[in-house]
Amino acid sequence: MNEILTAIIAKYNYWSFLILLLIGLHAMISKNNLVKKVIGMSIFQSAIILFYVSIGYKKGATIPITEHGHGHANEVVHQTAAEMVAGFANPLPHVLMLTAIVVGVGTLGVALALVQKIHRVYGTIEEDEILEKIKE
């Protein structure tokens, strides 16, 4: 029992990321309402962000900011390189995800603009109704 629990604890983040990913993907493909599709898209993206952020986490580390500041570089670093490395979370995934969030919000804006235009053209944002109108 305990082993299973540790196994779950060791990986549960990946599993929850997976659940969110699938919820998002499913919504993007199967939802009929276009806004719901867009929400699904955002969930899908944030699931991926969650995955990346999980990569960056280190047990026993702290946020990736040291206390050194401008002009204090001559203050001796009290930690060895190895300690530094163990002490700070991995900053690279964070950087990547900042970019991904920005890309996400850009896509969101464009998607919503298109939804508004579609509503203006067809008077509805339900996919089946739109398809019917196109057929006419």
Partner 1 sequence: MTWDASLLWQFDFLILLMVIICAVAALTFKDLITSAVVFGAYSFLMCLLWTEMLAVDVAFTEAAVGAGVSTVFFLGTALHIKRRAKD
Partner 2 sequence: MIKEQLPILILAVPLLASFAITLFARKSKIAAFALLVGAMGMSFVFAIGVMRQILDTGRVIHYHIGNWQPPFGIELVIDHLNAMVLVLVSGAAFLTAIYSKNTVPAEVPYRFPGEEVPERVPNYYTLYALLVTGLLGIVATGDAFNMFVLLEISALSSYALLALGGGRAYFATFKYLIVGTIGACFYLLGVGYLYIKTGSLNMPDLKVILTSPALAESPTVMIAFMLIITGIWIKMAFFPLHGWLPNAYTYASTTTSCLVAPLMTKVSVYMMIRLMFSVFSAHYIFDRLGWQNGVVWLAAAAILFGSISALGQTNLKRMLCYIIVAEVGYMVGGVWLANADGLIGATYHILSDAMMTLCLFMAVGAVIYKTGDASLYAMRGIFRKMPVTSVVFVIGALAMIGIPPTCGFFSKWYLVSGAIEARHWGFAVALLISSLINAVIFFRIIEIGYFPLFDEQEGEGGHHAHDRAVIAEAPFSMLLPMVLTALSLIAIGLYSNEIITGLVGRTIPAGLL
Partner 3 sequence: MKLLSLVISLTLGFLLLLATADLPDWGDPQSPASIHVSNYYIENSVEQTSVPNFVTSVLADYRGYDTMFETIVIFCAGITVLTILRRSHRQKKKEVRPRPAREGKDLILISAARIIAPMMQIFALYVVAHGHHSPGGGFQGGVILGSSFILLALAYDLETILKRLKERSVIIMSGIGVAIYMGIGMICLFLGGNFLDYSAWSSVLGVSAVEARSHGMLGVEIGVAVTVMYIMFSLYADLSSGGEMDEGL
By CB under 8 A, residue 134 contacts partner 2:
yes
Q: Are 39 and 112 in contact (CB under 8 A)?
A: no
Which one-letter DSSP state was computed for residue 88?
A: B
Site string (82-111) toward partner 1, x via CB under 8 A: -------x---xx--xx--xx-xx--xx--
By CB under 8 A, residue 23 contacts partner 1:
yes
By CB under 8 A, residue 41 contacts partner 2:
yes
Binding-site size for partner 1 (CB under 8 A) equals 53
Rank residues 9 and 82 by Cβ distance to partner 1 and give the closer one: 9
34: its two tokens: 């276009």
Q: How far apart are CA 48 and CA 28, in angstroms?
A: 15
CA distances (Å), origin 41, targets 19, 35, 90, 100, 107: 14, 10, 27, 13, 9
Which one-letter DSSP state was computed for residue 62?
A: B
As a whole number of Å, the CA-based R_g of the chain is 22
* Residues binding partner 1 (CB under 8 A): 9, 12-13, 16, 19-20, 23-24, 27, 31-33, 35-36, 38-40, 42-43, 46, 49-50, 53-54, 56-65, 67, 89, 93-94, 97-98, 101-102, 104-105, 108-109, 112, 115-116, 119, 124-126
